[in-house]
Structure 1
Amino acid sequence: MSYQQFAYLYDELMKEAPYDQWVQFVKEKLANCNNLGFSSTTSQLRLLDVACGTGELSVRFAKEGFQVTGVDLSEDMLAVAQAKAAANGIEIPFYQQNMAELEGLGQFDVVGIFCDSLNYLETEEQVKDTFLHVAEHLKSGGLFIFDVHSIYKMTKVFIRQTFALSDEPISYIWNSFPGEYENSVEHELSFFVLDESSGKYDRYDELHFQRTFSLEQYSSWLMEAGFELLDINADFEHIAPHAQSERIFFVSVKK
C-alpha cells in the first residue's frame, strides 16, 4: 500500500479522534499564560504544527485564527493536508521535514507536536534533538506543547492486546507486541478496504513502532534544551497525571 493510500485511510479511521479537544487544550493553556505576554486572541500568534499528518489539526488551528505552518515527514500526507486546506479556503504553508531535524522554518509563538506523534521516534537522541530544534524555532517566551502515551498505556493498554473493527468501507485487525526497547510497542495492522467497483475487499498491512519515556526523562530533556516546564497534565484535563492516565501533556516555555 502506498503511503498516500494510507493517508486517506488514516482520515477515515481517525474521523472520531478528539481533534477539537487538542485545539481547546492549547487555547486554554494560552489563556492561562497571559503573564507571558500572550493576548486573549490568537489572530497574531504563529503556530508550528509538527508531524501535522493530513492537516486535520492545522486546519482547525487556522480556523481559530492562528497563523499556521505545518511540517511532516511524509510527502503524501502533506499532499492530503494541502488539498484539505485548499478545500477549506485556507492558506497554510506545509513543509516536508523530519521533526528531529527541523530547520529554516522561522520563529513561532507556539510549537505543538500532537496526537502522540513524538512516540514514533525510536531513540532518546531523536527526542532530545527534536526538543533542541523546536527551541530554535520558538521565540523567547514561546510555548511548546506536546502529548505522548503514558508508560501505563504502552505496557497495560497496548502490549499483547488485539483490537478489531468491522465496518462497511473499512475493517481492521490490530495486534500489539512488545517492542525492542523498554516501554515500546509494535503495532501490526491489517486493513480490509472495500473496493466499491468490485464489491470485494483489498487487504493492506502496516507495521508501526512507538516508544515512550518517563515523565522525569521528558522533563529533564526539556530543561536541557532550554525550556522551563510549566505543566504536566493528563488526558485533556488540567490535572496532574495519575497511575492510569493514558495521554500525558507537557507544556513548557522557552527561556
Structure 2
Amino acid sequence: MTDAQNIFYTSISTYYSEIFPFNPMQLKFVKNKLGELYGKSILDIGCATGELAFQLVTGGAEVTGIDLNEDLLQQAISNKKHEKLTFQQGNMLELTTDFKAQQFEAVLCFGNTLVHLNSEALVLQMLVGAETVLKPGGKLLIQLLNYDYICGQRVEALPLIETENIRFIRRYNFSDDSELIGFQTDLEIKAENHTVSNETSLLALKSETLKALLEKAGFRNIEFYANFKQDAFGGKHLPLVVSCEK
C-alpha cells in the first residue's frame, strides 16, 4: 500500500463499514469453496474492519486478519472480538515472513485489495507468498474488479454508494501510457456538509494476466466468476471473483 492509499483509507475509515457493509454472499462463497468451516485456519488479507473475518469465526473457522491501515485495523480489534479471531498489521508482500509455511487451509483477498500492488511483479510476489503459506490442497480466493471490462469500455465511474449519512463517488482516470489507472473518490459527509477527496493509482490487472501469474505461482484449478454467486465470467460486469487451489 502506498502512502496515498493509506491516507485514502484513513480518511474514510470512520465510515468504511457503512460504505462497504458485510456482504453475505462472500460468506456463502467461502463456505461453498471450503465446505465445513469448523476448525479451518483462514488468512483474510485486507480485512479492513473485520466484518467478514468475524462471520467466518462465528461459523467455526480460526481466522487471522491482516491490514496495513491502522485506523481500519483498530476498529476491527475493538469491535470484532472472538477467541478464534486475531487481527494484526500485516503486508501482503510479507506473508512468508509473518506466517509459517503450510499454515492455512484458505487465503482470502477480497475488496479489490490485490490491485493496490502497482506492478505485476509485486502481484506475483504476493501470490507466491500465498501459495507458500497454504496447506496442500488449500484454496486461494480473490475478488477484484473486472478490468477487462473497465478498461475495454473506459468505464469512468463506479456506481454511487449513498446512505443516510454519506455519498461515496468513485471515478477512474485512464492513461494510454501506463498499466496503472487513477482512482479518484469523493466522500460527502452529509451532516457536516463536508467532502473528503482522494486520488490514488491502482493496477488494471486483466484476467489473462492474473491467470498467468497464478499459474506461475503454482496454483491450479483456476476458476473465474462474474460475482460471488459464481455466474460465468465475461462481459459487462464489474466484479471478478477467483477460486484456485495449491
* TM-score, with length taken from structure 1: 0.82
Cross-structure match for 2:91:
98
Residues 134-153 of structure 1: pairs in structure 2 closer than 5 A: 134-153=130-149
Change over 3 Å in CA distance of 1:224–1:203 after alignment to 2: same
Matched AA of 1:26: V
For 2:223 and 2:145, the matched residues in 1 are separated by: 16
> CA shift at 1:110, angstroms?
0.5
Moved over 4 A (4+): 1-5, 162-168
Deviation track 1:161-211 (CA, whole Å, cap 9, x = no partner) reads 3765665422344332115623x432222222245xxxx423322223322
> What count of residue pairs does the alignment treat as equivalent?
236
> Is the aligned partner of 1:208 residue 2:200?
yes
Q: Does the CA-based 8 Å contact 2:148-2:207 persist in structure 1?
A: no
Q: Does the CA-based 8 Å contact 1:219-1:229 persist in structure 2?
A: no
For 2:16 and 2:47, the matched residues in 1 are separated by: 13
Cross-structure match for 1:178:
174
More contact order relative to length (CA 8 Å, sep ≥ 6)? 2
Cross-structure match for 1:26:
30
Q: Which protein is bigger by CA-based radius of gyration?
A: 1
The farther-off stretch of 153-162 and 227-236 is 153-162
Partner secondary structure for residue 76 of structure 2: helix
Matched AA of 1:99: M
Cross-structure match for 1:34:
none
Cross-structure match for 1:8:
14
The farther-off stretch of 93-102 and 171-180 is 171-180
For 1:166 and 1:85, the matched residues in 2 are separated by: 25
For 1:220 and 1:165, the matched residues in 2 are separated by: 33
Sequence identity percentage:
24
Q: Any gaps of 5 or more consecutive residues in structure 1?
A: 32-40
For 1:22 and 1:209, the matched residues in 2 are separated by: 26
RMSD in angstroms over aligned alpha carbons? Answer: 2.4
> Is the aligned partner of 1:49 residue 2:55?
no
Change over 3 Å in CA distance of 1:251–1:166 after alignment to 2: closer
Q: Does the CA-based 8 Å contact 2:40-2:61 persist in structure 1?
A: yes
Deviation track 1:107-136 (CA, whole Å, cap 9, x = no partner) reads 100001012211222111110000011112
Q: Does the CA-based 8 Å contact 1:149-1:248 persist in structure 2?
A: yes
Change over 3 Å in CA distance of 1:251–1:165 after alignment to 2: closer
> CA shift at 1:157, angstroms?
6.8
Q: Does the CA-based 8 Å contact 1:229-1:250 persist in structure 2?
A: no
